[in-house]
Amino acid sequence: MIANLNTLPLDEKIQLVEDLWDSIAEEKAVLPISKEQKRELNSRLEAYALDNNKGREAKLVFADIRRKL
């Protein structure tokens, strides 16, 4: 199957990926997370809440990335 996909033109591959992604997004079921993942998420959320630095504007982050490319 993968070999067949590799023969598709780029625009068709992109459309296929978009269609697949849309079908995943429409799924009602949410994948469960493990206890370890939940602990890590809670830890990060707590660290974020305690930190006075709430991050940077996205446009500044993207500008920095573009300069480094």
Confidence of residue 20 (pLDDT cuts 50, 70, 90): very high
The Cα–Cα gap between 54 and 69 comes to: 25
Single pTM value for the model: 0.41
- Structural domain that includes position 7: 2-68
The predicted-structure confidence for 21-69, as pLDDT tens digits, reads as follows: 999 888 867 778 999 999 999 999 998 899 877 788 999 999 999 999 9
Q: What is the DSSP code (8-state) at residue 54?
A: -
pLDDT value at residue 55: 85
Q: How many domains does the chain have?
A: 1
Query: Nearest 5°: phi and psi at 33?
Result: -110, 150
Measured between alpha carbons, how far apart are the two ends of the chain, in Å?
35
- Regarding predicted confidence, which is higher, 2 or 65? 65
The beta-strand segments (E) located in the chain are none
